[in-house]
Chain A
Amino acid sequence: MPLYIAKRLAIGVGTIWAAFTLTFLLVHSTDNSPGAVRLGMGATPEEVEVENERLGWNRPLLTQYADDLGKMVRLDFGQSLINRGDVRDQLSDRLPVTASISVLATLLAGIVGTALGVVAAVRGRGTAKAVNAFSGFSLSIPSFWLGVVLVYFFAIRLDLLPATGYSRFSEGVGSWLQSLALPVITLAIGGAAVVARMAASGMREALAREYITTLRAIGTPEWRIRYIHALRAASLPVVGALGVQFIVLFGGSVIIENLFALPGIGQAALFGATGNDFPILIGVVVMSTAVVVITNLVLDLLTAVLDPKLRTR
């Protein structure tokens, strides 16, 4: 098990490094320069050149890379080119919003998806077909369109939930959950579809195993076989799918945040992309990747706990 965790940790660090390197190369592959972005349209080429020199943009690429990488390790992403605020401070205010949306959406997708998958596997063919049709349909829906439809029905027609805006966790759990309900449901539907398929096939496979036959033979009650023995075996692929789903939903929340006007990382990414704010872009990519990596590490630990084969390694 320690070896397994060490391996996952190494891959996680590698992922963050890859994210940083990819973004660094992208930023440096353009004609645009931070001096030009900071000074805006009105600046003369000479002024831009002076500003670039001051920001260290003209140094050799490798020097800049080593310098930026060293700073990133210390979580220093520099200053925003547009509003000159510290990138880390700006993003760490936003990170909890995006993280709570994607964590809640992943949990909801996991619960609803597993329930649907188990029902599909346990009940007859009709139910299985219905669940399959539901997941096929939800997979092909763009989440942002679904979000608008949900806003139309639940916020405008029925007036049950707020359409936009964010209420902090410290202002009360109830209003926090209310402000996150629609975005979380919007994201979770697509995730639930994927999880349902995984859970259904995992459950079917588990129920066909020999030890299940043995359990039946010795007279174990059917509900214990289904919901304790088979579900435990089926939960492994589901947890694996949740790890991938978290990455997907985290990316999805970037789009959804803009629909629901939530002050998360996604809005920062959007502002950064519109304004060519390089330090913000690198900060957003690295911090998002870090969140994804940490969540996946937690899920890996959960897998290790669930899977007896991994525990002994």
Chain B
Amino acid sequence: MSSIRQAKQQRIPAFLRSWGGVFGAGWLIFMFLASITARWWRPYDVAEQDLIARLQGPSSEYWLGTDAVGRDLFSRVFTAGALPLQASAVMVLVAFGIGLPLILIAAERGGRVEEAIGRFAETIMSLPSTVILLAAIGAIGNRIYPVMMIFGLLVSAALYRILIGVAKSSRQHLYIDAARVDGMGSIRVNLAHVLPSMARPIAVQAAIVYAIGLLIINGLAFLGFGPGEPQPSWGFMIKDASDNIFNSPWMMVPSRRRPLAHGHGGECAGRCAGRTPRHPGVHPP
């Protein structure tokens, strides 16, 4: 009986077996869907101003209050989510797109190849990423997708350093040797055996890196490199709230809600997905 229950539980991913994981994943999914669809259900347009009701606290009319020019914060908070959620996903794809092949090659070849790739990754990892991203914006302009792809390149080095150990130890399994002896090609072995055995640490790192991407995008928006006004962005809403903190401290609350929820949701899901990663590895800025 208990073995049946165990077998059933195995099918549920580990992180959904704890309350933190369920909360994190659920919150992320809810926010993701709500943000992507916000343009169809939001109560006010993001640019709609109510100049009489400026800097208000929450009310039945404006659920999260209004900003300095009387725009509805509830609509703005949700609409602002769409772009960072997508741009950060692109960043994660780029990071793994560059990182994973290098990890697999280094783990398979070892020796000189591994050392060369390792040195390169170490070099990239010691670059101060925020400064590089600002330089990128100064050079190619305020275009969030290319800038986040450059960030993905920087992150791939950190991924390499964290996951290379996992890849190497998963190549130690006997069934990898068996597959090789059986005449399976290098690429097929990697795709069919090495990668699946790394699924859990990959998922953990993806969740963490995704949350970091959101933080970076909001940090850039805070500095003024978000979507231009009147389009809302979380970072710029925090900036806006900080400018009005003397006369309207309430604005800090809704502007905070989203980045926190995502950062924490990602962290939670990530941490619970694999038992706490030994290497905190990639860090938020």
Contacts and interface: CB of A to CB of B under 8 A. Distances in A.
Contacts of A149: 252
Contact of A26 (B139, B235, B239, B242): B139
Given A148-B242, A148-B252, A269 B135 contact: yes
A195 B17 CA distance: 28
A152 B241 CA distance: 11
Contacts of B119: 11, 14
Nearest to A249: B285
Contacts of A27: 135, 139
A306 interface: no
Interface stretch (A39-47, A72-80, A208-216, A282-290): A282-290
Interface string B261-285: 0111011100100001010100111
A245 interface: yes
Interface residues of A, number: 64
A289 B140 contact: no
A250 to B, nearest CB: 5
Contact of A273 (B135, B219, B259, B271): B135
**A142, A151, A270 interface centre (most CB from chain B within 10 Å):** A142
B111 to A, nearest CB: 17
17 contacts: A12-B126, A23-B139, A26-B150, A30-B141, A137-B264, A139-B263, A198-B280, A244-B283, A247-B125, A247-B126, A250-B131, A251-B129, A252-B130, A255-B285, A258-B222, A269-B138, A285-B131
Interface of A: 11-12, 14-15, 18-19, 22-23, 26-27, 29-30, 32, 136-137, 139-145, 147-149, 151-152, 156, 190, 194, 197-198, 201, 241, 244-245, 247-248, 250-252, 254-255, 258-259, 265, 269-270, 272-278, 281-282, 284-285, 288-289, 292-293, 296
Given A152-B245, A194-B283, A281-B139, 14 more contacts: A11-B119, A11-B123, A12-B126, A18-B124, A140-B264, A140-B266, A142-B219, A142-B222, A142-B259, A144-B222, A250-B128, A251-B130, A252-B130, A255-B130
